[in-house]
């Protein structure tokens, strides 16, 4: 029995010594192991402050880039709309499409955006509403708003209604208009009352109120207080996109919009 105990003890000593040898046989790195250092509260606050400063510097640039992209989309949309007007006039004896046909109300009226659907790749019976659920201005956030309106005047000087002469005699001949005459532009839609997708020309509804305070009349009191600028919508950095008889499109300012003399964007 004593010999057995001695044998067990010797085995334990051997194993311990063996393990000890294995433990010391592990090679050690010649380089010191770095100790992890945690952030202090002051350092964390400094990092947060730097991030806040960078965000404040970048956000205006991001907003400007987003606005530029909105304007680019709007320019493209309106060039396509004017191209559709020109194609329509080419087929209908040089006459532009009517703004609408008014006969006791607009409920059953074919509006200009319905008339030009086929020229924009949409069928006559399509549910696509140009400027609303198809080719809309991305800067307008109201989903009910039809974002474009045509240059509407009495006496068929540009784009008019077809109803009863002499006020409502349809639209003008394309060849009678100067290349710089506006045909369509950013608009505020009166969809609650009559759905009018038009910009009311100051040649028929003169500007007699100054809504932006620059000392120049830019709105008719007939549409105030609900709709400034005769339903024109300056959505793009205090200006709006418009497209013209020559097929071009560009952003105009309220100052340019307010000019109503001969040779202005409003036509004859």
β-bridge mates for residue 169, sequence order: 162
Under a CB-based contact definition with an 8 Å cutoff, are residues 170 and 88 in contact? no
Give a yes or no: residue 224 inside a domain: yes
Instruction: Give the per-residue pLDDT at 109.
Output: 66
Mind listing the pLDDT tens digit for each residue in 185-244? 999 876 555 556 889 999 999 999 999 988 999 999 998 888 899 999 999 988 999 999
Parallel/antiparallel/unpaired status of strands 198-200 and 148-152: parallel
Integer angstrom CA distances of residue 246 from 185, 215, 217: 14, 31, 27
Q: Which residue has the higher pLDDT, 263 or 253?
A: 253
Integer angstrom CA distances of residue 21 from 25, 27, 231, 267: 6, 12, 92, 102
Under a CB-based contact definition with an 8 Å cutoff, are residues 149 and 231 in contact? yes
Give a yes or no: residue 40 inside a domain: no
Give a yes or no: residue 2 inside a domain: no
Looking at the chain, how many residues does it have?
Answer: 268
Would the pLDDT of 155 be above 90? no
Mind listing the pLDDT tens digit for each residue in 109-140? 678 888 888 999 887 666 667 877 888 899 98
Give a yes or no: residue 16 inside a domain: no
Would the pLDDT of 106 be above 60? no
Parallel/antiparallel/unpaired status of strands 198-200 and 249-253: unpaired
Give a yes or no: residue 6 inside a domain: no
How much is the mean pLDDT over the chain? 81
Would the pLDDT of 103 be above 70? no
Which is nearest to 239 in space by CA: 229, 253, 249, 228?
A: 253
Buried b (16+ CB within 10 A) or exposed e, 63-72: eeeeeeebbe
d(CA 102, CA 228): 24
Give a yes or no: residue 153 inside a domain: yes
Q: CB burial class (10 A; 0-12, 13-18, 19+) of residue 49?
A: exposed
Residues 6 or more apart in contact with residue 13 via CB below 8 angstroms: none
Number of domains in the chain: 1
Instruction: Give the per-residue pLDDT at 253.
Output: 92
Under a CB-based contact definition with an 8 Å cutoff, are residues 185 and 148 in contact? yes
Give a yes or no: residue 123 inside a domain: yes
Mind listing the pLDDT tens digit for each residue in 41-59? 777 888 888 888 888 877 7
Percentage of the chain lying above the pLDDT 90 cut: 36
Give a yes or no: residue 131 inside a domain: yes
Under a CB-based contact definition with an 8 Å cutoff, are residues 182 and 265 in contact? yes
Domain carrying residue 192 = 48-257
Helices (H) and strands (E) in the chain, counts: 4, 5
């Amino acid at each position: 029995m004593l010999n057995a105990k001695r044998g067990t003890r010797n085995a334990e000593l051997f194993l311990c010594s063996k393990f000890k040898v294995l433990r010391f046989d592990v090679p050690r790195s010649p380089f010191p192991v770095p100790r992890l250092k945690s952030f202090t509260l002051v350092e964390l606050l400094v990092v947060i402050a730097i991030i806040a400063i960078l965000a404040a510097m970048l956000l205006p640039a991001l907003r400007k880039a987003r606005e530029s992209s909105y304007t680019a989309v709007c320019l493209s949309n309106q060039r396509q709309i004017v191209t559709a007007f020109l194609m329509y006039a080419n087929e209908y004896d040089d006459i532009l499409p009517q703004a609408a046909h008014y006969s006791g109300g607009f409920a059953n009226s074919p509006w200009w955006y319905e008339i030009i659907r086929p020229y924009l790749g949409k069928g006559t019976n399509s549910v696509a509403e140009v400027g609303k659920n198809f080719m809309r201005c991305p800067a307008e956030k109201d989903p009910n708003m039809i974002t474009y309106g045509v240059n509407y005047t009495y006496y068929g000087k540009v784009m008019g209604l077809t109803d009863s002469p002499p006020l409502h005699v349809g639209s003008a001949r394309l060849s009678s208009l100067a290349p710089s005459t506006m045909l369509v532009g950013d608009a505020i839609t009166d969809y609650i009352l009559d759905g009018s997708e038009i910009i009311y020309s100051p040649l028929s509804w003169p500007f007699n109120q100054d809504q932006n305070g620059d000392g120049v009349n830019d709105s008719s009191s007939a549409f105030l207080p609900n709709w400034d600028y005769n339903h024109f919508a300056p959505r793009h950095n205090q200006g709006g996109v418009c497209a013209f008889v020559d097929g071009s499109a560009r952003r105009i300012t309220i100052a340019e919009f307010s000019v109503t003399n001969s040779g202005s964007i409003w036509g004859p």
